[in-house]
Structure 1
Amino acid sequence: MYNKGLFSDWVPKPVQLLMMVLLLIVVMPLGGVYTGNISFMVGGTGVMQEYFVWANYATTIGMGACMPVVMRMKMRFKVRDKVVILLVLLGILSYINSTTSVPLVIVITSLVIGFLKMMITIELFLPLMVMLGGRGIFYGVFYTFVLILNQVSAYYAVEVSVQYNFQQFFVLASVLCFAMALLCWVFMHDKYFALKVPLHYIDWLSILLFVSTFMFSAYVLSFGKQQDWLNSKNIINASITAFVSFALLAIRQMTLKRPYISFNIFTKSNVLNGLFMLFCLGMFLGTTSLQNIFSVGVLGYDQLTNAKLNVMMAPGIFLAGVVAVFWFKKERPLKMFIFSGFAAMTAYAVIMYFSMVLEFNYENWYLPMFLKGFGMGSLFISVWYYTLDKLELDEMLAAIGLVLVWRTFLAVGFFSALFSWFQYQFQIVSLGDLAVYMDGMTITPQTVTANLKTIQLNAMLAANKKIFGFISMAGFGVLLYVITHHFGKRTEYLRVIRLLNGKSVIARRRERERKKLEEDIKGAAGPAL
């Protein structure tokens, strides 16, 4: 009557694995917009870039909104019916994005795409978790695969946009969704995962308040620079609406028997420290905007060449995954693995600080992008593992949506907006500093006009260098924090317990910890992107 797998019994195991890999390849990179072809969407639709940045954030917000209810959705519907319908809906939404030029439609479809694709990906986590073994090993393999997949898909999104137009990649994604829906209808079973549960316990008002909170926050971070932050009534009104929505969301959770999200886990030490480290990771990932200014604005790379830079991170991500698998197999402490990730990110910032020159060669990108890839891969795996470690299943599922949005949207979006604002301010200061050496009595207007481009480029380089310098100093501070943090081992009591009660207590304690770490569903929900 029930089947905790995905496929019918007659389907061979290799075919099942192939189907899961194909589903990951199709579903995981899916989004309302693709960062690589945003410039093509701006040129093709004539809409401001900020709308597509907002839509990109909306996909993450939709995934976070789905996480607290994803297990109830999983047990309410039959596996085949749910996956097939979701793939068809995702294909339709991708096709809508390929035909519309209305920016708000793209923002809304991006939000819905994030919500729907989370229901499919959760179906893949559990069987892959069982197949690979421990949660840490699963994180190492899964994150490595997904992060490399995202870089490659972003590159091909740009290549298709260059060869044809940006609509063609959405059409391609739509066709792949429909093809996978047909394959899933053939190979998947039509049974329930477990005892069917009702949907009327889901508090849809809380979901609406959650979406409202972060969508208005995303509007502020996306349009802040364009509308001059607090000098704009729209930014002020959006900020107030986001704050009020979050306050109403928090108050409503206190009145519900089954709250949509839980704030209890934010009192735990590992969660708070994990959130801080995810925030620091967002600081390094936010340098992508500075990197694009340098590569496209200063060095003059086209979009396809710029997309190749992100593919250069793939070897570093792969190495981080290999190290993670061996690290968790040996059950080593996380401290030095996390330290190595932040050290790689800091080294990337230091190299970029010394690389802000007009003569920067393309081959010089290999080392910094390798370090950035290793840092991103190792920190995604280790910090996420540490943040969700030793949490009860109900607590984790009720709060993982907030943690997901914090990691992927708030931290990265905040620092991207901050760096963008500082870059503009520092650029103005640099132009003023360069103007000191220009005298109208000795330099003719014709000479100034001829050198105007060089002056502007040097101002951009000076602004970028100053920001990378601050990031490097902050990176050394983060390294000091990591090396001095206890990571849950403030005092070692095992020797005292052994003296008082004997080794049997130690054995029982280890057995309880082992069972807690091997909760399949918990481990399956943890790596949600």
Structure 2
Amino acid sequence: MYSNNPFSQKINAVGRFILIFIFLISSISINGVYVNNVSDLSGAFGTYTEYISFANYMGTLGICIGMSIIIRLKKRFKSKIIIITSTSSLAIISYIIANTNQIEILIIGSLLIGFFKILVMGEMVFPLMAALAPTGDKGKFYSLLYIVVLGLGQITAYFFSSLVFNGTWQSPYLFMSGVMMILTLLTFLTTHNNRFSFKFPLYQIDYWSYLLLIIGYTALNLALTFMKQQYWFHSSIIRYSLAVAFCSIFGFLYLHKSKKRKTIDYLSIFKNPDIVHGTILLFFLGLLIGISSLLTQYTGAILGYNNLTNAQLNLWMVPGAVIAGIGCLIAFKFQCHIKYLVWFGFGVFFLENISIYFIIQAQMDTDTLRIPIFFRGLGTSILYTSIWYYSFKKIGPDQLFSALSIMIVVRNFLSPAVASTILSWLSFQIQSQSQTDMSVYIDLGQNYLPGQSIIQSKESLMSMLKIIAGILCWLTIPIFIFISNYHYGRLSSYNFLSKIYRKRKKYKLFNN
């Protein structure tokens, strides 16, 4: 079995590390939908923004499928073949998206881009881990990795926003298509021809399970994304989509139990309490991050910022991510209890929401908004690092990729989609009630003053944002209680449930 590094030994160690970094940055940056330019894509395709969000979430499905099958592909094909196929496919798909006006092409292209990009990332992450943490220290690796991932994500988002602002919506796709063609050429010149292991037959892959998984995910994506646009459960499309999603997932689990060779061993994963706890924490995190979309709505509708200015503001997540990464490195070095890191991460989101609550007003500048965005980057990096570290600390290599695919779906799709649905419903209800309350003070016998309806709409939008920020502040209290009552691998004296368990004889609990 060769070294995990896919590049030839003729290249020195520094050169291999630079190549790994270049390939990793490029594979992280490419997407089917660049979220900072959703409004530009919606206008270019002449469709609702929900279709663009639907395409964006389909990219997560591609990542999930690629993550679960990556080891089997490595056992069947050489790394050179995998990387060349993936990078050339990414270049072709990006070019096709840039030259189409069909939303179906964007949806399918986003799915395929998610699948191929994770294959390239999988070839680079393991040698990068060996380079950054040669002793196998996962805490150090995750701390450094999320500095790169979160920081790079915001920098590339600003770069792509500037390309669109100074050009057209096709510019990011054409640019990344060219980058992927260059990487394909580099792969021909720099990678070796060795195999990872013996050839693994592809007929053992459970294709029916993947088909059911794709159908169920797509139906759930359709329901959650279009729920507001289709007027919630009054629409038959939403009801049928949820029914199809439930039946497909049930069929997947039923079929999965009878399989001798399980491609995605989800049932055994959910028996691990650490994975379940980490998944719940990621779901809570998605709810708290959901206010970022409402903040973007506020900066666009009230302050008049364009996509480039919003992307420039989001760059303040980068110093937050860097500080969080350094802090996590120090915490892991001194063996700080992981519970305190999780506490601190959600506490930072409390500070973000309470700062939004107090600073929102009709006239603001970008300097004031840097504070909550900095807190968002700090909290996101801390929680990603700590949750990822604890969830996968004791998991075996056979279950690693199945668990990763589950948590990536929760982090990138289920949590933000549910958060968007809930916050959309709340924003609609709050703005409607706010406008109703303000209309009481309007003399219906007189004509409206010029711009009075616009002012009323802006007031209701600011009121909505303040109320939701306050609700999310209160939401952190049950989250803190939930965190306090989990041991995180240690029977803490502050853990109420563990105290009851230790005193079970006195209380006559848990005894046969």
- Structures share fold, TM-score greater than 0.5: yes
Question: How far did 1:484 drift?
Answer: 4.2
Structure 1 runs (4+) deviating above 6 angstroms are none
Q: Residue 228 of structure 1 is aligned with which of 225, 231, 242?
A: 231
Residue in structure 2 matching 1:438, options 438, 442, 449: 442
Residue in structure 2 matched with residue 210 of structure 1 by the alignment: 213
State the distance in 2 between where 1:3 and 1:322 align: 29
Match of 1:504 in 2: none
Contact residue 216 and residue 238 of structure 1 kept, 8 A: yes
What per-residue deviation string (whole Å, max 9, x for no partner) do you get for residues 406-452 of structure 1?
Answer: 121101110012101210111000000001111224xx2142x4311
Partner residue in 2 for 1:163: 166
Q: Could you tell me which of 364, 382, 393 is aligned with 2:368?
A: 364
Which residue does the alignment assign to 2:152? 149
CA drift of 1:491 comes to 7.1
Q: 1:198 aligns with which of 201, 208, 219?
A: 201
Cα distance in 2 between the residues matched to 1:491 and 1:358: 47
Letter in 1 for 2:491: R
CA RMSD in angstroms, aligned pairs only: 1.5
Give the equivalent residue in structure 1 for 2:132.
132
In structure 1, the residue matched to 2:452 is 451
Aligned partners of 1:3 and 1:194 also within 8 Å: no
Paired with 1:279 and 1:145, the residues of 2 have a C-alpha distance of 23
Name the CA distance, whole Å, in 2 between partners of 1:469 and 1:219. 30
Q: Does 1:481 align with 2:477?
A: no
Give the conservation status (yes or no) of the 8 Å contact 2:313–2:366: no
CA distance in 1, matches of 2:39, 2:378: 28
Q: Shift of residue 260 of structure 1? A: 2.4
Q: Equivalent residue for 1:242? A: 245
CA shift in 2, pair 1:359/1:4, >3 Å: closer
Q: Quote the Cα distance in structure 1 between the aligned partners of 2:350 and 2:43.
A: 35
Structure 2 segments unaligned to the other structure (5+ residues)? 494-512
Q: Work out whether 1:460 is the aligned partner of 2:429.
A: no
Matching residue's letter, 1:431? Q
Runs of at least 5 residues in structure 1 that lack an aligned partner in the other structure: 493-529
| Structure-1 separation of matches of 2:47 and 2:409 | 26
The letter for the 2-side match of 1:184 is T
What is the Cα deviation at residue 97 of structure 1? 0.8
Matched, 1:416 2:429: no
Deviation digits for residues 210-231 of structure 1 (CA, Å, limit 9, x no counterpart) = 1211121111121111111211
Q: Which has the larger displacement, 407-416 or 171-180? A: 407-416
The separation in 2 between residues aligned to 1:108 and 1:465, in whole angstroms, is 38
Corresponding residue of 1:96: 96
Q: Percent identity?
A: 29
Find 1:174's aligned residue among 163, 174, 177.
177
Match of 1:267 in 2: 271
**Separation in 2, partners of 1:484, 1:220:** 34
Q: Distance in 2 between matches of 1:354 and 1:21?
A: 41
Q: Secondary structure at the match of 1:200?
A: helix
Deviation at 1:121, TM superposition (A): 0.7
**1:395 equivalent in alignment to 2:396:** no
Within 2, Cα distance between the matches of 1:9 and 1:325?
31
Q: Counterpart amino acid of 1:454?
A: I
Q: Within 2, Cα distance between the matches of 1:242 and 1:284? A: 26
Determine the structure 1 residue equivalent to 2:296.
292
Quote the offset at 1:3 in angstroms: 4.4
Q: Residue 21 of structure 1: CA displacement?
A: 0.9
Give distance in 1, aligned partners of 2:29 and 2:362.
34
Distance (whole Å) between structure 2 residues aligned to residue 65 and residue 298 of structure 1: 41
Mapped contact 2:269–2:402 kept (Cα < 8 A): no
Deviation of the 1:131 alpha carbon:
1.3
Taking structure 2 as the reference length, what is the TM-score of the superposition?
A: 0.93
Task: Quote the Cα distance in structure 2 between the aligned partners of 1:2 and 1:365.
Answer: 50
Say whether the 8 Å CA contact 1:75–1:195 is kept in structure 2. yes
Displacement of 1:347: 0.6
Residue in 2 that maps onto 1:524: none
- The question of 1:325 aligning with 2:326 is answered no
- Is the 2:303–2:362 Cα contact (8 Å) retained in structure 1? yes
Deviates further, 177-186 or 41-50: 41-50
Tell me the equivalent position of 2:497. none
d(CA) in 1 for partners of 2:318 and 2:268?
37
Greater relative CO, 1 or 2 (CA 8 Å, sep 6+): 1
